[in-house]
Chain A
């Protein structure tokens, strides 16, 4: 039997709604597991790539340096890279911070918000937590992306159609009523 194509998924600066939409495949998720081998993904325990993947699915844009490293690694390890959802495609809601200086965002959360107890005026800065980028980058500004599935999140059916077409080597062209731009 020929080896099944491998698929990897990741959430960067997203809300996990796109992954939840993948889970909304419900019983089809078990069917998907018959068609493909899940590589690195929240769906299993793989910490890193086991092998080169046919498809990488990326949720969320890049808001920390670590997001960038992970995205670059996905580009290297996957034949096709898919941006899934508004956040990966355009930055989405988190990109609303892009026209505000990062410092102001941090000050609002850690110094100004009512109820904050912060006698030292601390803004989290430990080396253990990753550096925030000054703005949020959509994935295609960081690496080449081969396919975009719009929606916030895209409906499960749109994800299903796209993955099944890609795996069959067909161009993925979602039906009109499955394209959502919310």
Chain B
């Protein structure tokens, strides 16, 4: 499409399950065989911002979570937080706040376990046991949880059971594992009964033990393959997340906005969520349905930033639970306390958060406030509100206006993966430039590299398309006239 001269070529990489509704990659080569540019196209559009206009505000936390069935709790809670303010109930009762936090940590726990075990572990396990030439080049036929289960049954079962534990917490707090209804404007609609608590508490120590093991696996993999991982799809960037208001600690449920540059200089600090529009803007580009956010002060060229586990490690001052805090200090030592810009370190960061969330869950489960029955508050009505939180994949922004008839009149959503749009495009371009340049044929073995780079970000646009396996790739080589020159499919055997 973009090719101009007759010797220009274009690779289209179709993670096929994404063609069915989510995304694809194109790599454009010039006549010299150099990569000119690579693009990750997001090919889905739903229109939530428009079609929820006119709906009553109390429906919103239940409707918008249907954006994503992989981390519905994030949307459910971000919308609920905005609606708390609409009903003047933003100072939740301790019971309501803690039930929501429990729900959210359960969500982080299940999502991170899913991403690491079901999705990424084949790369680590088969890439490092001598099966593959490179640390993240597992053969296609092994790239799924069933292959992991065959070879490392214990680990696969741990992954499945950790995800299940997170889902059980969600069920206990939200009423349902997927698309629950627990959070309502100004609070929650149920507390945690003692019997529900006891079931969860019984398993907590085992989950903690397994989370420690997962963190060790991620850390050791990173440290053992550092030379290979450091340049892989990496680049310097800004990082953004919420941090706790009082002391800058990691806080996944609530806080103020902070952004740092590649060296750790604070670009944004202590900004109240209600003022997020002073901080971010979103650029529209014709070739993707997903927008490109940037820090307003730096502009679209310089202001793009990363979100998610890696960014959170870089922005937070410390982590408020002891084991995860120690892990965070060790993580930050890798770059002498300055931000870590290594894309592949997302996995390690994610496992630090896995450990943090189970530590937080264990502490919360002991809290008698969870059995309180003061569930909902309200106060003076407002017409506009913003709700932010840190979803598994990064900062999530919900912004609404509601009129006097209780109808939503404006809705703006910036989902986590959107903030990582530019970084994912850069990672893909970097990998393409490093590995594809100068090649005359489609390098089949290298397709996986593209996939690994995208996967580090755990993109929500389709994380489940490769939730249990790899992304199948079809690459088409086309000349400038668009005629098919070569085609290769990488596919499980």
**In the assembly, what is the distance between CA of A129 and CA of B288, in Å?**
7
Interface size on A, residues (CB 8 A): 67
Report how far A94 CA is from B44 CA in the complex, Å.
12
B19: chain A residues at CB < 8 Å are: 66, 70
Residues from chain B with Cβ under 8 Å of A116 in the complex? 281-282, 284, 291
Inter-subunit contact B291/A114 (CB<8 Å): no
B140 at the binding interface (Cβ < 8 Å)? yes
Which among A18-26, A141-149, A162-170 touches the partner chain?
A: A18-26
**Please, which residues of chain A bring their CB within 8 A of the CB of B177?**
21, 24, 156
Interface status of B473 (Cβ within 8 A of chain A): yes
Residues from chain B with Cβ under 8 Å of A110 in the complex:
284, 291
Q: Are B491 and A47 in contact (CB under 8 A)?
A: yes
CB distance from B326 to the nearest CB of A (A): 31
Q: Determine whether B286 belongs to the interface, using a CB cutoff of 8 Å to chain A.
A: yes
Contact A42 B468 (CB under 8 A): yes
Q: How far is the CB of A86 from chain B (nearest CB, A)?
A: 9
CB distance from B268 to the nearest CB of A (A): 15
- Contact A117–B69 (Cβ < 8 Å): no
Inter-chain contact A17/B179, CB cutoff 8 Å: yes
Query: Does residue A48 face the partner (Cβ distance < 8 Å to B)?
Result: yes
Which residues of chain B (434-493) have a CB below 8 Å from chain A?
462-474, 489-492
Report B-chain residues with C-beta under 8 Å of the C-beta of A10. 17, 20
A45 within 8 A of B: yes
Contact residues of A between 114 and 162, Cβ < 8 Å to B:
114-118, 122-130, 132, 152-153, 156
**Are B69 and A18 interface neighbours, CB within 8 A?**
yes
A64 to chain B: which residues have CB within 8 Å? 21, 43-44
Q: Top 6 nearest A-B pairs by Cβ distance?
A: A17-B69, A45-B492, A105-B47, A47-B472, A126-B287, A108-B50
List 25 A-B pairs, Cβ < 8 Å: A16-B464, A16-B465, A20-B69, A20-B70, A23-B468, A27-B160, A30-B149, A38-B146, A42-B469, A45-B144, A45-B470, A63-B21, A63-B44, A64-B43, A66-B19, A70-B19, A93-B63, A106-B45, A107-B50, A108-B50, A113-B412, A117-B283, A117-B300, A124-B45, A129-B43
Using a CB–CB distance below 8 Å, which chain B residues touch chain A? 1, 16-17, 19-21, 24, 26, 39, 41-47, 49-53, 63, 66-70, 72, 114, 118, 140-141, 143-146, 149, 156-157, 160-161, 163-164, 167, 176-179, 277, 280-289, 291, 294, 300, 399, 410-412, 414, 462-474, 489-492
